[in-house]
Structure 1
Amino acid sequence: MNQQIQKLYAKAGKPERLIIGLMSGTSMDGLDIALCSVKKSGAETDIRVLKFKTGNYTADFRAKIKAIFSKKEVDLQLVCLMNEYIANIHSQLINEALKEWGYKNEDIDFIASHGQTIFHAPKSLHQLADYPNGTLQIGDGDHLAVNTGIITLSDFRQKHLATGGEGAPLAVYGDYLMFSKAGEDRVMLNIGGIANFTYLPGNIDASEIFSTDVGPGNTLMDQYMQKYFNQFYDKNGAVAQSGCSNSKLLAALLEGDFLALDFPKTTGPELFNLEYLIKAQEQSLTTNLSKEDVMATLCHFSAEAIANAIKNCVGEDAGLKVFISGGGMHNPLLVQLLQTKLPFCKFLSTERLNINPDAKEAVLFAVLANETLCGAPVNFGNRQGVPSVCMGKISLPE
C-alpha cells in the first residue's frame, strides 16, 4: 500500500481527529480558520472548536479576487493563476494560525477547505437548456496539502452537483449532524453574503430536513457600501439606521423571480448585485433616493426575504427557535427587523449550541470532511437538491 494512503487510513481511524475547517465566503472579508476536535461520525458526531480566527485579507488580495468574482467575462489566464495563488495565501494563513496557537503542522490530521467561490450558476440563473447546474470554487487542494504538509479535502460542491444537486447549500448535512434535537423544531439561519437556512424538525426525520438559500443577506448592502461610502460594510447597521425604507423600492426588489421559486434553491451575487438594485430603482421611479434611504431599504429587503422564506417553511404563526450565524447577525437593524416580522420565533446565537457563530461555516466543512473519511452517507430520502452523498476530493501532501 502507498505510504500516504496508509497514513490517510491511520488518521481516519483515530478515535479523535484534529481537522481544520476553512471558509472564505462571497463577502471576502477573510479566511475563517476553525481548528476542531472531532470524534465519531454521523448522528453521534462529537465536535469541539478548539481554536478559531479569521485570517485577514489584504486590500490587494481582495481586489485580485474581485477581478474574477461573479463575472460572466473574465481573464481566463487570471482565473488559472488565482487557483494556485489563493491556495498559497490560504496555506500561509493556516501556517501562521497554527504557529500562533502553539500547534505543529504534523499535529493536525486533515484540512477541509471550501475554497473561494468565483461563480455560481444553477439552471434557475443561467437558463441554458443544454447545460447542467454549475459552480466553481478555486484555491487548489494539492497546493494546500503540499504547502502545509497536511492531508487536505477540498472542492466539496462538485459531488453535490454530480448527484443532482445545485452545489449548494451544503449546510443541511452539518446542521443535521450537529444541531438536530428531538422534540424541538429548529431553524439554523446563516446570514452571509447570501442568506440561507436549514429546517430541522423535532422528529429527527432526515427525509424532512432541507436547506435553502432565500436571497440576499449582506451582499447588496456590502456592495452598495463599498461603492458609495468607501466602507467594506455597514458597521452596526449605522448607515441603514440613519435612513428610511422606501416602500416602492422595497416592493420592486421583492418582485424578483427567484424569490417565488420553491425550496430548495440557490443563488448568489451573480443575481443579487447592484445591477439588480438599479433595475428595481428604475422600475419604481426611486433613482433619486438618498443613499441612506437606499441602504435602509436594502436592509428591509434582506429581512423581508428571510422572514417570508421562514414563514413559507413553518407557517405564519409558528413559534420555534432560530439560531443565527454569519456576519448579518452583527447588524442590529437586520436582527430587529427579523424579530418584528417573526414575532413568535425566538432568535438565538449558535453560541448557545457551543459553536461560535462566526466559525459555523468553517466548522461545517470539518464535519463534511469527517463524514467522507469516517462516516457513511446519511439517507436524506430521494429528494431533489439533497443527495445522500459524501463530498470532498482528497489531496496528499507528498
Structure 2
Amino acid sequence: MLDRFSDRVGDLVVGLVNAVIVLTWTLTAAALHGGDTPGLNEALAWVMMTVTVVVLFWRSSYPLTVAIITVVCTIVYYPSSSVDGPMLLGFVIALYTLAALGRVIAASVIAGATLVVIVVSEVLAGFVHMTASETFMLSGWVIAVPAIGAVVAHYRRYRDETAVVLAESQRRSVAEERLRIARELHDAVGHHLSLINVQTAAALRKLKRDPAFETRETLQVIADTSQLSLRELRAMVGVLREPGEDSPTGPGPSLEQLSSLVEAARESGLEVDLRVDGKAELPVTVDAAAYRVVQESLTNVLRHARAKHVQVKVVTGTSTLAVAVIDDGHGDAKGAKDPGNGLAGMRERAEGLGGTFNAGPLDDGGFSVEATWPLEVVE
C-alpha cells in the first residue's frame, strides 16, 4: 500500500490532490480576507505556490530536486503572502518522498536546514508570525516527516530483501527436489533395469551356447523385476501428481525389504551373504538412505565388478547404523571414475544425514562400500 504512489500514475494522483487542496484553500482564503494587510510581494507568492504545485507531479522521478524547490518556494511564500494557506503540504510530501525512496541523509539535511531557518527567523523576529509553541510544533513535524519516510524506506528494503531470499529459497528447493527425484529414479528404477539387463544378457549367452536352453525361469525373474520397477515408478509419479496429499503409493524403501533385494541379486547369479546384527526403530530418512546405498552397491556389482560373491552387512548399534557391501570383483572394476555409477549419490545420502561414506578397491582385490548414519537425525 505504501508503494502505490511511487510510480508515475501515483505522482499524477498525488499532484492533482495537492493542487486541488492548495489552490482551493488559498483562493477561498484570499476571497474571504482580501482586505487584510498584504504580504511583502503577493505576485511572488503566487508564483512560488504555482511552482510548488507543478513540480510535485515529478516527485518520484526527481525527488531531491523537487524537495529543494519546494522548501525554497515555501520559505519565500509565507513572508510574501498575506494568505496563510496549506502551502506547506507540498513541501511535506516532497520531503517524505525523498526519505521513503532511500535518500534519508539528503532528507535529513534539508529538514535540518529548514528547521534552522524557521527557528532562527522566528527568534530574530520575536515570534511575530508564530508563537513559540507553534514554532515548536512545526519543528516537530519537520523532523517527523523524514523519520517516517526513513521507516518506510527500511520496510521497502526489508521487503525486497525478503522477496529475494524467498525466491532463492524456492529455486534451491526446486533444484534439491529435482536432484532427489533423479537420485530416486537412478537408485530404484536403475537398479531394477540393471537386473533385467544382467538376466537378459546371461540368457542370450546361454542361448548362443545351447539353443535348447530353458528360459522360463529367467523370464520369470525379468517379469518380477519389471513389476517392482513399475511399482516404484508409479509411486514416484503419484507423489509428483499429488504433492499435497497422502496418495496410496505403498511403503517407501526400507531395510525391511533387504531380503527381497538380496534374493533378486541371487537370482541374477550372484552369491550374496546377508548379515544383519542388531535391531532398532530407525528414522525414516536413515532407513530409506541405507536401503538405497545397499541397492546401488549391488547394482554396481552386477554391472561392473564381474564378482561372484558379495557380503552385505547391516549393523545397528545404540547410536549408529552401519552398512557395508564388499565383493570379490576385479579391483576397481566398479567404474568408480564413471560419473554414472551412483557413488556420488550414495555419498550424498550418507553425509546429507550427518553420516559418513567410504568406497574404494581393497588391497587384496574386490571393492568395498561402507556408510554410517546417526540414529538421531535432525530433519
TM-score between the two structures when normalised by the length of structure 1: 0.19
Q: Which protein has the larger Cα radius of gyration, Structure 1 or Structure 2?
A: 2
Structure ranking higher in helix proportion:
2
Higher strand content, 1 or 2: 1
Pick 1 or 2: higher relative contact order, CA cutoff 8 A, min separation 6. 1
